[in-house]
Amino acid sequence: MGVTSTPHILLVEDDREISQLVARYLRGNDLRVSLAGDAREMDRLLADSRVDLIVLDLMLPGEDGLSVCRRLRAHSSVPILMLTAKSEEIDRIVGLELGADDYLAKPFNPRELLARIRAVLRRGGANGGAARDEEVRRLSFAGFVLDAGLRQLLNPDGAQVALTAAEFDLLHAMCLRPGRVLSRDQLLDLTQGRAPGPFERSIDVLVSRIRQKIERDPRNPEMIKTIRSGGYVFTPDVVRA
């Protein structure tokens, strides 16, 4: 049971010294770690084993991190935490738009990376243990069903809608508070427990991605309304089951 109960982290980083240091730290904190130096090596590892989270460097030889993120999101919901340089604000935003669940700027403290990994794993339900009873509920709105126990969204036709862990948590937080104006600060606190700042932009990116998946016309949203200088409000009636 040791292999299956220990989260498996795939670190995609071409700097061998950084990889070894980070891997040693994560392994010392009860995580299983595999290393890949580029996208091709990553693909081989993903084909051979189950991975709970990918730590993906933005600057890779050959196929870069943004391209890798886009390609992974086309067929997988595995959580992705991107590593970026401090100067790459635009690339961080693009990474979030492409489906990354979180990002961390280099240079970083390994303890912060560990904390971010654990937070993303908790949001995704990996190795999180049994969910608390109050969290296991189905929420219905506009024909959609959000299942907090299975962490999945079904559309009105009963088909599953692919959501990243961050998208699920944001939609879940809104569904629990329909009709209320929620500021970006509140949404950050409800979903990620972080202080506001550069992460405020991530809320806008996540809202945009969710709208693409649930709105009839994402450019004229009816379910998630933007409140000028206020935040967002989730408008549908929500039925708890």
- pLDDT at site 133: 32
Pair (174, 231) in one structural domain: yes
Four-CA torsion 210, 215, 219, 223, nearest 10 degrees: -90
Last residue of a domain, one of 124, 142, 176: 124
Helices 200-214 and 165-175, packing angle to 10 deg: 80
| 53 plus 82 within the same structural domain | yes
Tell me what pLDDT residue 132 has: 34
Q: What's the CATH code of the domain at 188? A: 1.10.10.10
* Intervals of the chain under pLDDT 50: 1-4, 126-136, 194-199
Domain that holds residue 52: 2-124
d(CA 101, CA 99): 6
pLDDT of residue 165: 84
- 72 & 111 share domain: yes
Cα–Cα distance measured from residue 223 to residue 237, given in angstroms and rounded to the nearest whole number: 10
| 117 and 144 co-located in one domain | no
Task: Report pLDDT for 125.
Answer: 58
For residues 169-192, one letter each, b for 16 or more C-beta atoms within 10 angstroms of the residue's C-beta and e for the rest, the string is bbbbbbbbebeeebbbbbbbebbb
Q: Write down which residue in 101, 124, 147 finishes a domain.
A: 124
Residue 6 and residue 118 in one domain:
yes
- The answer to whether the beta carbons of residues 61 and 15 sit under 8 Å apart is no
CATH of the domain at 98: 3.40.50.2300
Residues 116 and 40 in one domain: yes
Residues 152, 235: one domain? Answer: yes
> What is the model's pLDDT at position 128?
38
Tokens found for residue 31: 């995580």
Whether 152 and 208 map to the same domain: the answer is yes
- 194-240 pLDDT, tens per residue? 444 444 568 888 999 999 999 999 999 999 999 988 899 999 999 98
Whether 194 and 97 share a structural domain: no
The pTM of the full predicted model, rounded to 2 decimals, is: 0.59
In this structure, the answer to whether residues 213 and 113 fall within a common structural domain is no
Assess whether 118 and 150 both reside in one domain: no
Domain endpoint, select from 124, 155, 187: 124
If one counts the domains in the chain, the total is: 2
**Based on the domain organization, do 175 and 226 belong to the same domain?**
yes
